Chains A and B, each alone.
Chain A
Amino acid sequence: MADIFSATVIVATLSSGIRLAVPLLLASLGEAFGQRSGVLNLGVDGIMLLGAFGGYFTTLKTQSPWLGLAVGLGVGLVLGLLSSVISVSLLAEQGISGIGVYLFGLGMSDLLFQKLVGTPLPAASFQKSPIPFLSEIPVVGDLFFNHSIPIYLAFLAIPVSTVIINRTRFGMNIRAVGENPEAADSQGISVTRVRYAAVTIGGILAGAAGAVLAIGLGIFQQNLTNAQGFIAIALVYFGAWRPLGVMAGSLVYGMVSAVVLLLKTRGIIPLGASDLAAMIPAVITVLALVVAARRFRAPTALTKPFIRGG
């Protein structure tokens, strides 16, 4: 029991925390894009599940995790567009329509799994790609520079998104339609087009999140995400709609999950209580959210469909 405080175990746990944070990070980053444009997409978890199945199934059949990831992105793109049609063009009530997308993803991914795979078979996973030199630094190297490429890319997406949102015309348009769509419209910005783009980016990232989760584990099962998509939505609020904040929230969740996992494998948490233990990351994340999220203001037009002249 004392060895859980040894350097190796601590580093391994933290490193696994970083890996566990990634699906959440991708999903909530994507959700942040949509919400900055004024669209709340509650269907993230459903998109993740279908992305996860698509990624897993493709990898299983082709032995190529990269092809699997690509299919995950594609599934996310299609469902992102579908969510845009529902929320932006059909002006659906966003608090409800996303739940439909979620239930669709939940049921459909399980149905496809039962019909096409049946019994869980392990699939190939991403290889670790230690970064030359950096990965040899003691502790730090193992922690940050000894992961698979999708994990590096996910963390790279954070500064890239910050720049897109704050420094580009596209990002400014997203913020404008999320704060005051009437103003944006009167300036000649197409509110519809910008929201489609933002929500679709959200879909692609949610699909990627699912694929990375499934391929990382090498398996798929019913409700694989275990509602991580909903935690992702909460993290957007926790992260105050900013990529860096979203990353911080994801890391909290990932770290707590890793620690709980460690305690379970070491038998410190008894098997009988493992369902309870599984709740801990979500509970802690939600508590952190309640404490931290008060100071920031949501985009003014969040959840409000735009109707010209209305």
Chain B
Amino acid sequence: MTQLLEMRGVVKRFPGVLANDRINFDLRAGEVHTLLGENGAGKSTLMKILYGLYQPDEGELLIEGTPTRITSPIDAINHGIGMVHQHFMLVPSLTVTENVAMGTVSKRGRMNLRHVSDRIEELSESHGLAVDPDAYIWQLSVGERQRVEIIKALYRDVKLLVLDEPTAVLTPGEVDHLFKILRQMADAGRGLVFISHKLHEVLALSDRITVLRHGRVMGEVEAQDATREMLASMMVGRPVRLAPDKPPMETGRARLTIRNLNVMGDRGLPALQDLSLTVREGEILGIAGVSGNGQRELAETIAGLRKPESGAIAVDDDDITGRKPSAVRAAGLAYVPEERQRDGAIGAFSVSENMILVNHRHPPMSRRGFLRNGEIRQRSQQLVDDFSVATPGLDVPASNLSGGNLQKLILARELSGSPSVLLASQPTRGVDIGAAEYIHDRLIEQRGSKSVAILLISEDLDEILGLADRIAVIYEGRIVGEVDAEHADRQGIGLMMAGVSSED
């Protein structure tokens, strides 16, 4: 096989961080080589160097055996390198054809878009990438947008394609389909770099796997010789339990009841329709679904951040429908929001200020309008210790914490008020495996305390399957099916996530 790419001893430093530490990485024609690692392990940095977005401080890069310097994306494109970024690089106000044509049309001013759109149709037919060349990007679903990104690469006939976390936004069915296309592209002689942290996907797609941790290569393995546990341990640097131990539980009384909820989305279209749920103490109800099917609106409505059109929400016997967030909290709801940096914490505030954010108005944290620093520090220190939040001190700004530690802080704060209901939205998204494992254990522990009902909203099906006692699948704002975790299978849930209801 031809050696398409070789990166030797690549070093990239950022102020205070060694993002890439003498990394060696190579890619042959016809293979899928995965870069696996936690957030901040250096995967994206390495690929940004390859795509000319960053310049390496040391090391060399060989394309088909020739030492090459890539100083800009234009250079990368001219060397036959393509990249499907995690955040799609599409212009929403342009059509599919215009997006594909962007930057490729002859240097003359006029565009021959007809030609481009014909070629898109050919490519979409030969690769099974259904997409309408005349549609505007804003009209497309995330899955379709991704197809446009892949077509962009095919249109330029790239030899080497980098895919940065391409499955994050897809249903299990769409992932299977994507993998078929990628495999076909590799078989046709292209080289693919797949970036991911989802272990079963990595094992399903890859030929070779290189694991990065803290900017260094921890090892390179053939996919056929690898196991999930082995890869996870390489990523984290210690043995890891992938599925939490979950003892069977007796459930108690219903603590969160939602009846016939109808909610409007931001664009004035129905986001939730006739949605009913019950969560009992001692159980975790998981809401599975592809991003954008009403999960955010559901969480916001329960938390009092969005007013429902009709329906009722009750915590214990307290009707909280349409009440403001502080009243909902007072009724016993704890909320771990999806956007933790934006909604869950105040980055410029210190760790201890964030710890008491929701109960600073009440004794003992404040008295007669004055914050009581002694009490606050004592309480925060205790929570930091209890939840092993890794922080240099109580006074550093919360924005300095890693995603995992910030999430531990939020969870500590939310659980400190002994809630009746815990609403956790995407609690481990973008969090490293170690912290995710920890958060999962704490959720299971809360379930074991038998005093709290837990509603877990997650787009990570593995997380739902690992934690939930019951699984409800949400699709276009409706619950299309509900199953007991014991009887749940990935394929059946995947179908429901794509809108095929359980009765069909």
Contacts and interface: CB of A to CB of B under 8 A. Distances in A.
- Indicate whether A and B interact: yes
Interface of A: 167-170, 172-173, 175-176, 179-180, 182-190, 300, 308-309
| Leading 8 A-B pairs by shortest Cβ distance | A187-B103, A183-B89, A188-B74, A188-B103, A309-B53, A186-B89, A179-B91, A189-B103
20 contacts: A167-B111, A168-B111, A170-B109, A175-B93, A175-B94, A179-B91, A179-B93, A179-B94, A180-B91, A180-B92, A183-B88, A184-B91, A184-B103, A186-B73, A187-B77, A187-B102, A188-B73, A189-B102, A309-B48, A309-B54
B73 A175 contact: no
Nearest to B152: A187
Contacts of A188: 72-74, 77, 103-104
B94 A308 contact: no
B109 A176 contact: no
B51 A172 contact: no
B267 interface: no
Interface residues of B, number: 30
Contacts of A190: 74
B85 A186 contact: yes
B110 A185 contact: no
The prevalent SS among residues of A at the interface is helix
B109 A182 contact: no
Contacts of A169: 105, 108-111
Contacts of B50: none
Contact of B111 (A172, A182, A183): A172
B100 to A, nearest CB: 9
Contacts of A172: 94, 98, 101-102, 111
A262 to B, nearest CB: 42
B290 interface: no
B90 A183 contact: yes
B83 interface: yes
Nearest to A172: B98
Contacts of B73: 185-188
Nearest to A177: B91
A170 to B, nearest CB: 6
Contacts of B92: 179-180, 300
A67 B85 CA distance: 51
Interface in B65-100: 72-74, 77, 83, 85, 87-94, 98-99
Given A169-B109, A309-B48, A309-B53, A184 B93 contact: no
Nearest to B88: A183
A49 B51 CA distance: 45
Contacts of B51: 186
Interface in B19-58: 48, 51, 53-54
Interface string B407-439: 000000000000000000000000000000000
Contact of B94 (A168, A176, A186): A176
A182 B48 CA distance: 13
Nearest to A179: B91
Given A169-B111, A172-B102, A186-B73, 7 more contacts: A169-B108, A169-B110, A172-B101, A176-B91, A179-B91, A186-B85, A187-B77
A188 B156 CA distance: 12
Contacts of B110: 167-169
Contacts of B93: 175, 179
A190 B477 CA distance: 41
A186 B47 CA distance: 13
Given A172-B102, A309-B48, A183 B53 contact: no
A218 B134 CA distance: 51
A309 B53 CA distance: 6
A180 B90 contact: yes
